[in-house]
């Protein structure tokens, strides 16, 4: 009996060691690129040229990040990206709420097929529609403008689907009772449905903000040499093109661009997980 217990404990111990070893390995694989970029950003100019592949810190300095901030005009780029990301995030939340409410609570002809067709658009890669959207923006005079950066991204199929899943979990008796009390659709949406969906809306907002902040393809199509409207990703590409030999300067800009995203993920990690799981119960 004692031998069996010892064998079971040994097996459990080996499994635990195996799991933790795997987790450590995955953590190293994930964190290594971040470490390499941060190390390169903190290298001095001569050290970056003499030892570009060195993984051990030798002569670390913050002057490279300061130089990248000045030479790349990162302050202006960050403010542009912040403005565009906030506006797109707010727009996606509003449009997702309205469309999801219609698909969840309202009855209209062909609602099911329309929703299926709408969700099917998620299968179309965004790259397929870039040329057509760029021509549309050009015809509207939205090239080199905030409208061109913001308006085409104000609706999200994923956002509608995610919020609708949460709305489907709300008892329809709530809507019926509100209707008997004379509460209209918009009032019910803003005062009842939206507050109950707050975790999911937070997760959607975070995903939208991150996606907009990191977007490069679409901004590169509507911003053509107009530095006043450049986002951080376009500015970093220009910084790389100016002096490709200054790898530490480019990585310094990358660190500055990634810092707001890192802070958001750390602060809202729990809300992100809670928001995603909130809509995973009912289809």
User: pLDDT, tens digit, for every residue of 219-272?
Assistant: 999 998 888 899 999 988 887 765 555 677 788 888 888 888 888 888 887 777
Q: Report if residue 161 sits inside a domain.
A: yes
Residue 49, pLDDT score = 58
Alpha-carbon distance 105 to 164, whole Å? 9
Q: Considering the chain, what is the average pLDDT of its residues? A: 83
Question: What is the reported pLDDT for 31?
Answer: 87
* Selected residue with higher pLDDT from 222 and 170: 222
Of 16, 39, 63, the last residue of a domain is: 63
Encode pLDDT of 171-190 as tens digits. Answer: 877 877 888 777 788 888 88
Domain boundary among 43, 63, 83: 63
Question: Are residues 239 and 153 located together in one domain of the fold?
Answer: yes
d(C-alpha 9, C-alpha 25), whole Å:
24
Looking at the structure, do residues 129 and 157 belong to the same domain, yes or no? yes
Do 140 and 200 lie in a common domain?
yes
Which of 63, 87, 115 terminates a domain? The answer is: 63
Q: What is the pLDDT of residue 283?
A: 46
| pLDDT of amino acid 124 | 86
Q: Are 74 and 256 in contact (CB under 8 A)?
A: yes
Give the CATH number, domain containing residue 143.
1.10.3720.10
**Are 44 and 179 members of one domain?**
no
d(CA 110, CA 100): 15
Q: How far apart are CA 6 and CA 12, in angstroms?
A: 10
Give the count of domains, the chain.
2
Residue 283 within a domain: no
Whether the CB-CB separation of 233 and 214 falls below 8 Å is answered with yes
The answer to whether residues 216 and 113 belong to one domain is yes
Report if residue 219 sits inside a domain: yes
State how far the Cα of 101 lies from the Cα of 109, in Å rounded to an integer.
16
Q: What is the pLDDT of residue 245?
A: 56
Q: What is the pLDDT of residue 77?
A: 92
How far, in Å, CA of 80 to CA of 145, rounded?
Answer: 11
- State residue 282's pLDDT score: 47
Same domain, 91 and 141: yes
Same domain, 49 and 167: no
- Considering the domain architecture, whether residues 102 and 238 belong to the same structural domain is answered as yes
Asked whether residue 49 is domain-assigned, the answer is yes
> Which structural domain, as residue segments, surrounds residue 212?
74-278
* Tens digits of residue pLDDT in 112-122: 899 999 999 88
Tell me whether residue 141 is in a domain.
Answer: yes
* Mean pLDDT on 16-45: 84
């Amino acid at each position: 009996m004692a031998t069996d217990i010892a064998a079971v404990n040994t097996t459990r111990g080996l499994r635990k060691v195996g799991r933790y070893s795997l987790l450590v390995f995955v953590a190293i694989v994930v964190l290594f690129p971040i470490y390499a970029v941060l190390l390169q950003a903190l290298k001095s100019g001569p050290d970056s040229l003499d030892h570009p592949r060195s993984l051990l810190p030798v002569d670390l300095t913050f002057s490279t990040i300061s130089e990248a901030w000045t030479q790349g005009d990162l302050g202006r780029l960050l403010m542009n990206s912040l403005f565009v990301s906030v506006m797109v995030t707010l727009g996606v939340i509003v449009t997702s709420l309205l469309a999801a409410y219609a698909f969840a609570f309202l009855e209209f002809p062909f609602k099911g097929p329309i929703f299926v067709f709408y969700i099917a658009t998620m299968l179309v890669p965004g790259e397929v529609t870039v040329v057509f959207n760029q021509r549309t923006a050009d015809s509207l005079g939205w090239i080199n403008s905030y409208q061109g950066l913001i308006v085409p991204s104000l609706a999200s199929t994923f956002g509608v689907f995610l919020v609708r899943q949460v709305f489907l979990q709300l008892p329809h008796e709530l809507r019926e009772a509100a209707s008997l009390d004379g509460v209209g659709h918009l009032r019910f949406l803003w005062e009842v449905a939206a507050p109950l969906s707050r975790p999911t809306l937070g997760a959607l907002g975070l995903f939208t903000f991150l996606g907009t902040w990191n977007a490069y393809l679409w901004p590169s199509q509507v911003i053509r040499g107009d530095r006043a409207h450049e986002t951080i990703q376009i500015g970093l590409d220009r910084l790389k093109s100016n002096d490709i030999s200054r790898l530490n300067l480019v990585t310094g800009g990358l660190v500055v661009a990634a810092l707001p995203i890192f802070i958001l993920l750390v602060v809202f990690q729990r809300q992100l997980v809670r928001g995603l799981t909130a809509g995973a119960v009912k289809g």
